[in-house]
Structure 1
């Protein structure tokens, strides 16, 4: 979990990296700012984080890959997948130079490919894609025809422009490559609650009673924040209704319950990160290694001003609710915790829960 040794020497070295993150520094897959924790603890957090992003939080193709692109919809995507948010975006920022305005080279899209480590980073994400397919046993050949028939143009090794269809590159062996089999310790890192469920239920009941005594101006009871949205300059905790909280066992197996943070409006030229927790009763105990952690939102700037476009964050929460013994509750408490100063200028329209096959 460190920068590979090959990329610390010429010709693969780039002096536009964060020198404090050179080996033996262990990378932080949930990076938002530097911390002083011990390497062993960072490794533990990384393993728990990978479990969340690839296993429990990505049980459907859309959750892992992001929203579908459809012909005639102008190429607009309403939300990224778990692996793109992190570790993809977070590792870009972690590697980039802390002496540059946007942590260039790796920390911003316009300059990322100047650093040779950009390429193994993306190759490793492709490997994670292969791992995810094996974990969840998806037959991608039966996926949406619009996706299978999508095509891209590339220059081949002879500098000739070639057209490649998604359906032709689902099997890496056809590309004459295969990934080395390695241990995946994060597959067994299913987290546990930070607080026993009985204590959590008592605390949430007290919270609800206390909230009802507050004036309307002091409380946020609606999970929809209105036309102006809700500013994320500090933590937000809201109660979100579940329309299908009495689902049968078969329904739970066929559908993933998904928390949607919708209408996220960020400054396009800023690095933005916030974390999402469910039924959190103590904000001093927050970590990806606990069941309450539902996921994270990460936006990386492109390096130039572009028109702001709202996006959504979709998080699979069926396993989270099960681990928190909240899968039979008619509502849950969701807490959004800002992790970057840029969240001050971030607006959110609301939260809702839906089911996804």
Structure 2
């Protein structure tokens, strides 16, 4: 019962956030309103906020299906050139992240292993799981990545100063369309189950996305996700992200808290510069360029692209390439590096 009451508080706060953001004509109100208001309310409402991961996952499946329906195949015409650009952008951000980690070692007196994991631009869940596996300071790593995700998800739409696109057609949902949507959702859940078994990253978003793209490739039509469903999916995600940064997390030294904010701002500015480069090199819009290079999550950046009218296909491919690059190449290298550091500290090398 306390969990139900706490969920009700989170839902109420989220809806207030949606209303205020809509009233003030702020961007992406159904995502950023709940995120911002849940984040701030935790510091004033003296109760533990509860928002189950299952609701976030349900929202991710809906958003994955919707973005899959928006995906276009035109960008694969120059795939070789595109891969080269993605490698360049990822190499630049990894080098910059390593420089930030050296700053954390020097200024924050953090161990090199911890500093590197705090700044690596990987997926939040994968990096936190890696830190736990390697017995690295988990609270500090979690704080650095949470503050990064929240700042990027809030900061980029405000920086671009654009508003959510009302591109969804408001129409009545027929019974047959609703049944088709439920069937598609159930098939997507099955795809997620398979993806989790074979350890695909971001399965709740990526597998529905791949499923719908595959159906499109074979000219199989899928029912369009209605706008109210997408709005609720955004609320589910926004409330979950806002709840990540809890008051209990801010128990570190003031220096560490400040360094988390500084490194996030520096990384955000660096990726904005990369987005501008991408705009000039590839003739993308500025919104598409920035969201493609931002060190946020694949799911959040693709959602923002859909909400603000950027090229969803480009953003999704760039973000997917980055997370796979980190997952397949960088994390194994970091594992070997951590092993070397442990061996060195033990006097074995």
TM-score under structure 1 length normalisation: 0.23
Whose helix fraction is larger, Structure 1's or Structure 2's? Answer: 2
Structure having greater relative contact order (Cα 8 Å, sep ≥ 6): 2
Whose strand fraction is larger, Structure 1's or Structure 2's? Answer: 1
